[in-house]
Structures are given as structure tokens and as C-alpha cells.
Chain A
Amino acid sequence: MLKCENVQPQLSAYVDREMPLWTIQLIQWHLKRCPSCARETMRLRQTNKILHQLDPVKTSDNFLPDLMRRAAAITVIEKERVSAVRRILRRLESSFAWMLYSFRTRGRPYAVVTSLAVLATVVSITLYQPRLTLLSNDTVTLAQAPTDKQALLVEFEIVSINQFPKPHLSSNRRTSPLTPVDPHQAR
């Protein structure tokens, strides 16, 4: 036996007869025994009836002529577009005509030679790799340095040593903490 909570979501489809015949029979059987579901069905039917009170509108008289004029304009544009594509193709054909002509007149050897030349050009362009320019021997090249940071660090050290003044040999005191200490002088 059907319960109200199962029947109520089906009522709209029942009103529209959008369900199998046996389901319609089951719902009808339930509606005869359930006044609340019967009332709900009646309200849905009434809503439908109210909706059908709206009068249909008609299109204006110039709807069809306007539309056909626009459709004809589209056809013209489409034809022009197609003819533009054809024009481009014709131009391409004429520009390659000399090639086609020589293929036809000079025959297979000419075609083979041209194809090989094109192939060689493509292969050489693909295989070409420009060599990296190496820096001087004193400095570390980018290719040798594992990271950019390291290369920068090496460069920094060289610059920093060059900037410090030369150590005064007569005195025992070191002028710079970076200057290497001579063990004989220290003694």
C-alpha cells in the first residue's frame, strides 16, 4: 500500500499522466482513501487550470518578412565567405604554379632533388645547436658551476681580496684578518 509521503511527490506527474498505467491505478486507489492527497491533487489541477487562462500571443505581421530578409542576408554573407576562401586558394595555387609546372615538365628527377633539398634544410635546422661561449680560464664558467650562487661566491671572493690593502711586512701585526699568517714572522 502506498504512503502519503511516497504519493505526494508523484502527484504532479499523475496530473500530467506522465507515469505507467499501473502507477496511475495505484495512486487513484490511494486518492480514494486519502482526503489530504486528494485535496493536494485538486489544488495542483486548479493551478494548471489557472495557468491555462493566459491567452496566447501572436507574432506581429512583419515577423516573417523580417526574418526571411535576415536569413537571406546570412546566405549572402556565407556565399561571400566561401568565395573569399576560394580566392585565397586560387592565389596559393597560382603562386605554386611554377613548382607544379616544373614537376610536370622536368619529371621525377626534379621532384626528387627538390624534396631532398627541403629534407636536408629541415634536418639541418633541427640538428643545429649553437655552442656556448666559454669565459676566460681564471673565472668559473656557468657551465662548470653547479649553481649560480657558487659562481657568484667565487667572484665575490676574488673582488674582496683585490680590494684589501697589501700587508705591511715590517710589523708583526696583521692588517687584515684575511691575510695569511707567516709562521716565521710570527715567531
Chain B
Amino acid sequence: MRTSDEELMMKCRNGDMSAFELIVMRYKDLITNFIYRSIGDYHRAEDLAQETFLRVFRGANRYEPKCQFKNWLYLIATNLCRNEIRDRKRRNTTYLDDLVPDSEEVSYFELMQDVSQLPDEVYEKKEQQIIIQQTINRLPENQRLALLLVSYQNLRYDEIAEVLECSVSAVKSLIHRARQNMKTLLIEIGIGESSHAKV
């Protein structure tokens, strides 16, 4: 039987390191992905993911099982992402990773392992992924976070509202505007213009 996150956190509160390890194992990829898609820098995303889990570890004493653990975890990650985005804006920094995504090597390797695809197709797919990531990076902060939470983390609107600390109707509006902006930007680039889709 799978132990719930809340139970693991209660164990972690009592100093059980294996419970904390289990929590990290469950969420490390999800959190790293979320942060990576938010800021577009793989190495920094790993650092921030570690910071997220360390904050969870430090705050275990204060954790109340009333709220869902997952939402609390995403709240911490979202706050870290916000700080990072604002810091970058303030410094007006362009990281080398923004120009050439550093997860590229890993993804290329994974794609090349798929023998069903030709190298040209692999390259094309990779190029498209870079464009999509750059388009996501162009969205406003809150819209980007809401869209990532719904699209990649499969969170419900009420959960996103808890993470972003706003109302459900605000989340609905944020996601709608994010999709509209995304759609416009993708059409500008030349991706996503087709009329064959099921309604």
C-alpha cells in the first residue's frame, strides 16, 4: 500500500530521513520539470528544486496535514521561481542556457536512442521544442506559472488557486489568457496553424 505524502511528512517531522528521501524520489522530476519550464535554465532549475526540498525539510516542523502536501510543495517551488524570474529581470541577465538549452544534450541523446526517427526528424523536433520553450518564456509570469501547472503538472484549477494564492476565477482567466497569448505567439512563429482537429 502506498503511504500518503502527508503521512510521510509526519514521519519526516519526527526526524525520519528515509521518509524525506521517499518524498524527494516521488517529486524530484516533477518539480525540476516545473522549475525548468518556468525559468528555462536546467542547472539553475536543479538548484532551485534542491532548495525547494530543503525548505520542505526545514519547514517539516511547521507542516500541518490540513492542507495537501503537493500544493504546499508547489507553492514553495512557485515562490522560488517568481524570485528567480524577478531577479533575472532586475539584473537584466541573459544566461547562456537561455540561448542554448543545456538539457539539449540529454534530450538529443534520448531522441537518438529512438531508432524509429531519422536524424533530420530528431533535429527538427528538437528545434521545435526550443521554440516552444522560448514562447513559454515570453508569457507574463503569472500566466506562465498557471499554464505550466495545468499543462505539465496536471493540477486542478482549485489546486492552482491555492498554489498561486488567488481565486479559482482568477486562475480560469489567467489560463485562458495564457493559452490565447500562446496561440497568438505560435501562429506568429508559424507553428499551430491547422484546421484539422476534433472539437
For A48, give its contact among B57, B125, B179 (CB under 8 Å).
Answer: B179
Q: A54 to nearest B CB, angstroms?
A: 6
Q: Tell which of A7-15, A85-93, A155-163 binds the partner.
A: A7-15
In the bound complex, CA of A69 to CA of B183 (Å):
44
- Closest residue of chain A to B20 (Cβ to Cβ) is A71
- Given A13-B157, A18-B172; A46-B194 close (CB under 8 Å): yes
Q: Is A63's beta carbon under 8 Å from chain B? A: yes
Within 8 A of A (CB), among B164-192: 172-173, 175-176, 179, 182-183, 186, 191-192
A54 touching B28 by the CB < 8 A rule? no
Q: Which residues of A contact B49 (CB under 8 A)?
A: 59, 63
Within 8 A of A (CB), among B27-50: 28-29, 32-33, 36-37, 42, 45-46, 49-50
- Closest residue of chain B to A55 (Cβ to Cβ) is B107
In the bound complex, CA of A123 to CA of B43 (Å):
64
In the bound complex, CA of A9 to CA of B160 (Å):
18
| Total number of A residues with any Cβ neighbor in B under 8 Å | 40
Q: Which residues of B contact A11 (CB under 8 A)?
A: 176
| Total number of B residues with any Cβ neighbor in A under 8 Å | 53
A50 touching B191 by the CB < 8 A rule? yes
Q: Is B92's beta carbon under 8 Å from chain A? A: no
Q: Is B17's beta carbon under 8 Å from chain A? A: yes
Q: Which residues of B contact A56 (CB under 8 A)?
A: 29, 33, 152
A54 touching B29 by the CB < 8 A rule? no
A64 touching B36 by the CB < 8 A rule? no
For A71, give its contact among B17, B32, B125, B156 (CB under 8 Å).
Answer: B17
Q: Is A70's beta carbon under 8 Å from chain B? A: yes
B24 touching A64 by the CB < 8 A rule? yes
- Closest residue of chain A to B182 (Cβ to Cβ) is A47
In the bound complex, CA of A56 to CA of B153 (Å):
11
B179 touching A54 by the CB < 8 A rule? no
Q: Is A72's beta carbon under 8 Å from chain B? A: yes
For B50, give its contact among A16, A58, A67 (CB under 8 Å).
Answer: A67
B17 touching A72 by the CB < 8 A rule? yes
Q: Is B21's beta carbon under 8 Å from chain A? A: yes
Contacts A12-B179, A59-B32 given; 11 further ones with Cβ under 8 A? A9-B172, A31-B199, A46-B194, A47-B182, A51-B151, A51-B182, A57-B29, A57-B106, A57-B107, A66-B50, A67-B54
The 8 closest A-B pairs by CB, nearest first: A12-B176, A42-B197, A47-B183, A18-B157, A57-B103, A38-B199, A51-B151, A59-B32
27 CB contacts below 8 A, A to B, read A9-B172, A9-B173, A12-B172, A12-B175, A18-B156, A42-B197, A43-B183, A44-B183, A50-B186, A50-B191, A51-B136, A51-B147, A51-B152, A52-B151, A53-B129, A54-B152, A56-B29, A58-B29, A59-B46, A60-B46, A63-B49, A64-B21, A64-B25, A67-B54, A70-B50, A71-B17, A74-B58
